[in-house]
Amino acid sequence: MQPVGRLDPQPWMTAPETGAVVAALTAEGAEVRFVGGCVRDAVLGRPVKDIDIATHDPPERVIALLQRAGITVVPTGIKHGTVTAVVGDKHFEITTLRRDVETYGRHATVEFTDDWIADAARRDLTINALFCAPDGRLFDPCGGLADLRAGRVRFVGNAETRIREDVLRLLRFFRFYAWYGKPPPDEEALAAARALAPLLPTLSGERVCGETLRLLAAPDPAPVVALMRDLGVLAHFLPEGTNLARLAAMVTVEGIAPRRLVPAADPIRRLAALIDGGAEAARAVAERLRLSNAQRDRIVSLASGPWPAVELDGPARRRLLYRLGADRFRDAVLYAWANELSGEPTMDRRRTEAWLDLLAAAETRLPDFPIKGRDALELGLRPGPEIGRLMQEVEAWWIDGDFRADRDACLAHLAELAGSVAR
């Protein structure tokens, strides 16, 4: 295979960690190439997250070479020829060149091969089948470079065949289209996606979740999600995802909010914006997609409220902020704002200012409740549930007073309440 060009030295290529892994893998003359996302993103000048490396050597040999160089090896997917090398905080996925021999849905029986072209042919999309040698030489067996530059996201080979081999590729197509594509989308891929979407429920929740969240993290996923709805794809894996207008509005308000308050697109918040059906639907989505408990709590909380309103006065804002905490308060403001905007044809400037002002309330530093259960014991109260009830009562009084009462005032109030109980 002839190189089609050369990639300028990239920081991730020249990093000492990468150098150590490449030196270990090539110590006995093996050929290795960077492949997949790192090459694709480097070509575009986008930041590179994780590094995938392809090699001729079988996994046992890869492990031996890495161990000999003192590099930590995790056998992440030995059956599929993948091991992970860990150097410092960097992870490298090293995969032995392979070619599908037979495929049964997502389980490919792989036969190790030294054929780079065959390896490229079993990758999903042409833009993901770019290789780069450690010296920078670029290899493009599937025409991925031209596709990448044109924003053409298409399968390596026949779309329907490739999706039947692994249905996850149907979702991956839309994910990569959202990140790298320019309209119009590939017709063959759309037709295959429409026809094969009924197979989506055969995928595990974890795999669907991974792709869904990566799709929603794209700069603007809303048009692609709308396309998936129009094709009937969305209904097969996220039937609750019907609020396209609120998703689009969420992307808009995230863009208006100051970076300090909303540093990045947040796929979980966007997922919450997309789904209709209240807390029950949010719970069903969380369960099906196997979300973590923290992720589930976030979408359920956004779906159930309370949602801050711009009309709230200062003390009411602070009360809600205290109750929700800064992160949930900020999420809830964005959700409520997106919800309002999704029903409005235009955005009023003064209204935008009002929402931004409410959002900024998330930065208010509220004092910690100045007394503890210990203080009640020191007042001579007997340990037991009564103390908890009294403390809650004092805290509610302190919150109602807009957090102004200091420690002494809270202690005095506690003593007063305790006295009336004792009496």
- Tell me: cis bond preceding 184? Omega within 30 of 0 counts: yes
CA–CA distances in Å: residue 311 to residues 253, 257, 275, 346: 18, 19, 26, 20
Residues in touch with Mg ion (CB under 5 A) = 37, 50
**What distance in Å separates the CA atoms of residue 338 and residue 352, rounded to the nearest whole number?**
11
* Region of 46-54, 198-206, 291-299, 406-414 interacting with ligand ATP (CB under 6 A): 46-54
**What distance in Å separates the CA atoms of residue 371 and residue 277, rounded to the nearest whole number?**
41
**What distance in Å separates the CA atoms of residue 40 and residue 24, rounded to the nearest whole number?**
24
Decide if 225 contacts 196 (C-beta within 8 A): no
Query: Of the two residues 9 and 77, which places its CB atom closer to ligand ATP in the complex?
Result: 77
Is 211 a binding residue for ligand ATP by CB under 6 A? The answer is no
Q: Which residue pairs from 193-196 have beta carbons closer than 8 angstroms and sit at least 24 positions apart in sequence?
A: 193/159, 193/163, 193/228, 193/231, 193/233, 194/231, 194/232, 194/233, 195/160, 196/160, 196/163, 196/164, 196/167, 196/170
Query: Of the two residues 266 and 375, which places its CB atom closer to ligand ATP in the complex?
Result: 266
Q: How far is the CB of 178 from ligand ATP (least distance, A)?
A: 12
Query: Of the two residues 169 and 317, which places its CB atom closer to ligand ATP in the complex?
Result: 169
Query: Of the two residues 12 and 335, which places its CB atom closer to ligand ATP in the complex?
Result: 12
Is 240 a binding residue for ligand ATP by CB under 6 A? The answer is no
Select the residue whose beta carbon is closest to ligand ATP and give its number. 37
- 410: tokens are 């809270």
The binder of 318, among ligand ATP, Mg ion, none, by C-beta within 5 to 8 A per type, is none
Is 149 a binding residue for ligand ATP by CB under 6 A? The answer is no
Q: Kindly write out the interface string for residues 93-132 of this chain, putting x where it contacts ligand ATP by CB under 6 A and - elsewhere.
A: ------------------------------xx---xx---
Q: How far is the CB of 149 from ligand ATP (least distance, A)?
A: 17
Query: Of the two residues 175 and 328, which places its CB atom closer to ligand ATP in the complex?
Result: 175
3-state secondary structure of 306: coil
Query: Of the two residues 98 and 246, which places its CB atom closer to ligand ATP in the complex?
Result: 98
Say which residues have a Cβ less than 8 Å from residue 297's Cβ, sequence separation at least 6: none
- The upper half-sphere exposure of residue 258, i.e. CA atoms within 13 Å in the direction of its Cβ, equals 12
Decide if 339 contacts 332 (C-beta within 8 A): no
Q: How far is the CB of 7 from ligand ATP (least distance, A)?
A: 16
Q: Quick one: which of 56, 98, 169, 318 contacts ligand ATP (CB under 6 A)? A: 169
Binders of ligand ATP: how many residues, by CB under 6 A? 13
Contact residues toward ligand ATP (CB under 6 A) are 36-37, 49-50, 52, 123-124, 128-129, 166, 168-169, 172
